[in-house]
Amino acid sequence: MDFTQTLHDLIDFRSFSNLWYWIALAVTWSAASHRVLGIPFDMVMRARRLGGKAEQDLQDIVRVNVTRILYIGREAGVILMAMFSFVLTTLGLLGFLYRVEFCQAIFLIALPMSLVGLLSLATAARIEEHDEQGEVLRRRLSMHRIMVQAIGIVSIFVTAFWGMLQNMNLSILPG
């Protein structure tokens, strides 16, 4: 086996049969469910368990991240939404209409992550609107995490099903 063949196998754009894609998918959803509104979830658990300084630290970092998320949403939200919609539409068309597997793979990560982004924006708005603190804030962050995990489970299931279907289609095609 020569170097170019090894390199080609390592950087294979047939995503659903590539181990790196599945690792990236797992890391993406692991990170998304660990960081709630950009806050490591262990801070929420520590605040629940210890209270006091840990609770104050959580409220401070939530305030900073909520303010940041809402500022970005208010200042550049329309432009970001238009750009992201364009990218998602392009990926969707290239992937599913023109059958570019790499675009399908990216789309199957990007679409559910965009839902997580919208959910984060809505959660941040609720936290600011109700000036949530203490147990109410921890409950809101926990519910947000559960919803992100639910989106992740559905996304991984759909992606695995689609990837299996693609791999089976490639294996039965005449070579």
Q: In the prediction, which pLDDT does 172 show?
A: 72
The Cα–Cα gap between 64 and 111 comes to: 27
DSSP H or E run through 22: helix 19-34
Q: In the prediction, which pLDDT does 142 show?
A: 97
Q: How many residues does the chain have?
A: 175
Q: In the prediction, which pLDDT does 38 show?
A: 94
The Cα–Cα gap between 140 and 132 comes to: 8
Among candidate residues 46, 22, 6, 9, the one with its CA nearest the CA of residue 160: 22
**E runs forming strands in 32-164:** 35-36, 39-40
Q: What is the pLDDT of residues 23-81, one digit of tens each?
A: 999 999 999 999 999 999 999 999 999 989 999 999 999 999 999 999 999 999 999 99
Q: In the prediction, which pLDDT does 7 show?
A: 62
> Following CA atoms 127, 128, 129, 135 in sequence, which dihedral angle do they give, to the nearest 10 degrees?
40
Among candidate residues 81, 151, 69, the one with its CA nearest the CA of residue 112: 151
Q: What is the pLDDT of residues 87-145, one digit of tens each?
A: 999 999 999 999 999 999 999 999 999 999 999 999 999 999 999 999 999 999 999 99
> Following CA atoms 104, 106, 109, 113 in sequence, which dihedral angle do they give, to the nearest 10 degrees?
-120
* Average pLDDT of the residues in 151-162: 96
Q: In the prediction, which pLDDT does 169 show?
A: 80
Per DSSP, the three-state class of 37 is: coil
Q: Which residues contact 140 (CB under 8 A, 6 or more apart)?
A: 123, 126, 127, 132
What's the half-sphere exposure (Cβ side, CA atoms, 13 Å) at 22? 11
